[in-house]
Amino acid sequence: MRWTPGDRSNIEDERGRPAGRVGMLPIGIGGFIVLLLLSWVTGTDFLSLLGGHGSAPTQTVGTSGAVKTTSAEERLVDFVDAVTNDAQDTWTQRLGGRYQRTRVVLFRDSIESACGFAQSATGPFYCPADRKVYLDLGFFDELSRRFGAPGDFAQAYVVAHELGHHVQNLMGIKGPSVAIELQADCFAGIWGHAASKHGTLTAGHVELEAGDTDQALRAAAAIGDDRLQKMATGRVMPERFTHGTSAQRADWFKRGMDSGDPGACNTLARR
């Protein structure tokens, strides 16, 4: 991907603020998924191992004071801002006045969102209550190192997927979890299609290069329900799917990428 920094107007930076919640054991998204799936399979609340159920003293989770950062992390901030700006420009062109711009809230470790308390282990998420996307930049390292989906466009796919949920919220689209998640994948592809057509790279925008689509397809496949369940328990349990299989996620992203047409993303009719 080629991209240029913008003005960070698409970002709310909460990395330096304390979240103010109780002592929970630090755990990466992979560990969280393992505990979540084990809880589903066995009926035992393994998530209680994360803390908050005893007489342990309350501790603040998160950072406080000035943001301690690196040049590499600041580059990621600019990258997320550019992707968010570009994707939102795409949806403004597609939807006109129906689209209302939002922001990505960056945090570390944990945060009190309008949808409740969340940890980094939750992964990126969209909160319909305040219409914002929440992201701990550390997820990108998990995506590359643990799930084998490196690359700029793999990261951009994650942001575009969450913005897809914003589009659904604005349009009043509701439905079963798997259908909604697959449609958000397809909506991410809609943006990818538009980014591949940019002729001139301007500030705060991105442009795709050869091989970028493959990165996004790997990312979509890497976080399919069947693959995550297999990693966590060695079993695949279709009745517990929430996001769709690896093949489904990659397929719906590709439909959006190939067509550039939101009408091709009707997962509620085609499942």
Mean pLDDT of the region 218-241: 88
Give pLDDT, residue 269: 86
**Which of the pair, 127 or 16, is modelled with greater confidence?**
127
Mean of all residue pLDDT scores within the chain: 84
Give pLDDT, residue 21: 53
Give pLDDT, residue 23: 41
Per-residue model confidence as pLDDT tens digits over 176-200? 999 999 999 999 999 999 999 877 7
pLDDT band with cut points at 50, 70 and 90 for residue 262: very high
**Which of the pair, 21 or 243, is modelled with greater confidence?**
243
Tell me the sheet residues that pair with 126.
Answer: 133
Which residues are CB-contacts of 189 (< 8 A; sequence separation ≥ 6)? Answer: 216, 252, 253, 254, 255, 256, 257, 258, 259, 265
Mean pLDDT of the region 97-110: 96
Q: Please tell me the total number of residues recorded for the chain in this structure.
A: 271
Give pLDDT, residue 152: 92
Give pLDDT, residue 42: 42
pLDDT of residue 166 exceeding 60: yes
Residues of the chain above pLDDT 90, percent = 59
Each domain of the chain, given as residue ranges in start order, spans: 2-265
Mean pLDDT of the region 98-125: 94
* Token pair recorded at residue 85: 């700006």
Q: Is 51 helix (H, G, I), strand (E, B) or coil?
A: strand
Q: Is the dihedral of CA 183, 185, 188, 189 positive or negative?
A: negative
Per-residue model confidence as pLDDT tens digits over 17-64? 876 554 444 444 445 555 555 455 444 444 444 444 333 333 333 334
Mean pLDDT of the region 103-130: 94
Give pLDDT, residue 140: 93
Mean pLDDT of the region 233-251: 92
Strand order across the beta sheet in which 11-13 lies:
11-13, 104-106, 132-135, 125-127
Range with the largest mean pLDDT of 6-15, 61-70, 144-153: 6-15
| DSSP letter for each residue of 185-224 | HHHHHHHHHHHTT-SS--TT-EE--TTHHHHHHHHHHHT-
Q: Cα–Cα distance between 212 and 189 in angstroms, integer?
A: 12
Q: How far is CA 162 from CA 47, 59, 104, 225, in A?
A: 25, 30, 9, 17
Q: CB-based burial of residue 72 (10 Å sphere; 0-12 exposed, 13-18 middle, 19+ buried)?
A: exposed
Per-residue model confidence as pLDDT tens digits over 70-99? 999 999 999 999 999 999 999 999 999 999
pLDDT band with cut points at 50, 70 and 90 for residue 101: very high
Angle between helices 152-171 and 177-195 (to 10 degrees): 120
